[in-house]
Amino acid sequence: MSGQSEHSKYGAAGQEIPISLEPHPGYHCSHFYYRWDRAVLQELSADERDEAADEFGALFGPLNNDDASAGGHPDHRFQDWPLRTQIGLVAGDKADFSLMIMDKDPLRVEGVNQGLLSSRLGEFLEPVYSFVSMSEISEYVPTVEQFAEKLQREGLAADSPEYQARVRGYEQRLPSMNQHRLCPAFPDWPVSCFYPMNKRRDPGANWFALPFSARNELMAEHARSGIKFMGKVTQLITVGVGLEDWEWGVTLWAKNPQYLKDIVYQMRFDEASALYAEFGPFYTTYIMTARDVLRRCRIIEG
């Protein structure tokens, strides 16, 4: 009995493992999708809808809530809100609107969902889909040393000015790139798309049976395809392994819906997708304020 207790409390080096809900590094990330019960909504008067709409709008904090947790002069009005929150109108009939929320504390993330469901308008909502995940720095992101080795394999001499400038530039960019992978500022772009995905384990196409070097090269090819859409599309990959039915969640934001179509189509020809990827349902969201969501859903007028 004592052996089990010691094993759960201490790591291999004998150091006590802290108990926490916060990942290190990374953030919790949840996508929620809802549908209105419009037949029951008809029972509310216009005044009751307006009053409920005010409560609905007050449930959501700022889009990017860095000021609430940063040093200096934090905005205490938002200190209990999640770090990232985004709401929008969902295209098609899979759902009516969506929420995307990120924070270190998963209870703060889930608190927004529960607050919404327990609100006045929550009586008329049906949750239709959710995806629970965490952000991380992928094992395929090169370290500075790996980046330098790659340049040498490509023929750059270690003592050349170009080699030294490129290594120094990568070293300077890497921290901000990794922070973007962990908890990016949500772009104020008009449209986003989310879909879950797996890597296949089929005979002859088993991603997890490939050596790391092969997987790394396939992901590098995939990344080169994505770079072509810089300035048009930005993405966040979150991990559902151990938390969800799907292994990864992909969130894309775009300056135009056409770019979503273009990037997903073109990147499916990469071997990492063509042979090894399985995709779940796609949810497209037009980003807007909470009150605009209610207007577009015809819950309120004006």
What is the model's pLDDT at position 2?
46
What is the model's pLDDT at position 1?
45
- Divide the 302 residues of the chain into consecutive groups of 10 and give the mean pLDDT of each group: 49 77 93 96 91 94 75 65 96 98 96 96 96 94 89 91 92 90 93 97 94 94 92 96 97 98 95 96 97 96 78
What is the model's pLDDT at position 251?
98
Domain 28-135 has CATH 3.90.550.10: no
Classify each residue of 142-181 as buried b or exposed e, where b means 16 or more C-beta atoms within 10 Å of its C-beta.
eeeeebbeebeeeebeeeeeebeeebeebeeebeeeeeeb
* Separation CA 230–CA 179 (nearest Å): 17
* Separation CA 268–CA 182 (nearest Å): 24
What is the model's pLDDT at position 77?
72
CA torsion, ordered 70, 71, 74, 79, to nearest 10 deg: 50
Write down the catalytic residue from 195, 259, 276, 283: 195
Active site residue 195: yes
What is the model's pLDDT at position 5?
47
pTM for the full predicted model:
0.88
What is the model's pLDDT at position 255?
98
